[in-house]
A and B are shown apart, each in its own frame.
Chain A
Amino acid sequence: MKFSVVVFPGSNSDYDAAYAASRVIGEQAELIWHKDTDLKGADVVILPGGFAHGDYLRTGAIARFSPVMGAVKSFADRGGPVLGICNGFQVLLEAGLLPGAMVRNDRIKFVSQLVPIRVEQTDTPFTAACEPRQILRMPIAHGEGNYYAPPDVLAELEKNRQVIFRYTDAGGEVGVEWNPNGSLNSIAGICNRERNVVGLMPHPERASELSLGSADGRVVLASAVKALASLSR
């Protein structure tokens, strides 16, 4: 199975994501330059964290027009699993592959900390190996992770069970004090209506080995392996 990790100018978690997919999970991983228009036989596509194109204008605003994004969109339209991590999530929002937008964190602070998030849904390719309501500890590192969607879109997301991860306390309780950035409904990650495209602000690849402080993120990539294996059976 092959994970293709897109490299934008300014990506900085590209190697971490490829390392987690190959050395930790034990699958193939290949880096794809953003000017490529071929995903090199990807089974799973990852848009990694970082500051694509310097985050100029808005986070993800320039990256969505990178040549590779046409191939990513076709891959997603065919039902291929796509994971956007942090800046990758912002790119998916700007590209319209996920609904809503990111605004500046409500406390105007870049937040960099290990936080608990709760798995809300397990029927996506990136949560298939999770337990329902499992708590995962993963690092966040962003200045614009304050998820916003207009009220009608937010209501649709909740109704269609598209909220995949929420910020909580260590016991899994949602509360304003556990919401690090002001995201509506404490949203840390969502999926599209077809459920194959997932975006989240926390970094699973930076929590893939105990030496990093948490290995809880491993299950996100392992889920893709499980989900694809069950499809091919």
Chain B
Amino acid sequence: MRARVYVTLKPSVFDPQGRVVADALVTLGYDDVKDVRQGKFFEVELGDGDPITAKARVTEMADKLLANPVIESYRVEVLQ
């Protein structure tokens, strides 16, 4: 079983890296780009088991280690 975790800075936190990427895209001529938020993406390989339990465990992992809840939010998906 595989889980995916998407981590992004909360909307209230300024993302300097995303801002630079947005500026670069505009410079390349993509002038419809208003903003970019850069984040992190994790694929977690798990042993076989119950997807509901797996989602709860991976959510715990995200909360404890993969994301810092002070500045980041996260979303967990479990793939069968």
Residues of A within 8 A of B (CB): 57-58, 61, 65, 93-94, 100-101, 103-108, 146, 148-150, 182
Q: Is the interface of A mostly helix, strand, loop or mixed?
A: loop
A-B pair count, CB < 8 Å, reads: 37
Give the contact-size bracket for chain B: 10 to 19
Bound state CA distance, A107 and B14, in angstroms?
11
Question: What residue in chain A is nearest B19 (Cβ atoms)?
Answer: A108
Asked, given contacts A104-B17, A108-B16, whether A150 binds B70 with beta carbons under 8 Å apart, the answer is yes
30 A–B contact pairs at CB < 8 A? A57-B65, A57-B66, A61-B65, A61-B68, A93-B70, A94-B68, A100-B70, A101-B68, A101-B70, A103-B9, A103-B13, A103-B14, A103-B15, A103-B16, A104-B15, A104-B16, A104-B17, A105-B16, A106-B14, A106-B16, A107-B16, A108-B16, A108-B17, A146-B16, A148-B13, A148-B71, A149-B70, A150-B12, A150-B70, A182-B16
CB-CB under 8 A from B17, the residues of chain A are 104, 108
| A101 → chain B closest CB, angstroms | 4
Whether B68 contacts A58 by the Cβ 8 Å rule is yes
Residues of B within 8 A of A149 (CB): 70
Chain B residues within CB distance 8 Å of chain A:
9, 12-17, 20, 65-66, 68, 70-71
Name the distance in Å between A11's Cβ and chain B's nearest Cβ.
20
CB distance from B20 to the nearest CB of A (A): 6
Closest B residue to A59 using CB positions: B68
Give bound CA distance, A101 to B13, whole Å: 11
CB contacts (< 8 Å) of B16 on chain A: these are: 103-108, 146, 182
Closest 6 CB pairs of A and B: A101-B70, A101-B71, A104-B16, A108-B16, A106-B16, A101-B68
Q: Which residue of B lies closest to A109 (CB)?
A: B16
17 new A-B contacts at CB < 8 Å, known A58-B68, A93-B70: A61-B68, A65-B65, A103-B9, A103-B15, A103-B16, A103-B71, A104-B15, A104-B16, A105-B16, A108-B16, A108-B17, A108-B20, A146-B16, A148-B13, A148-B70, A182-B14, A182-B16
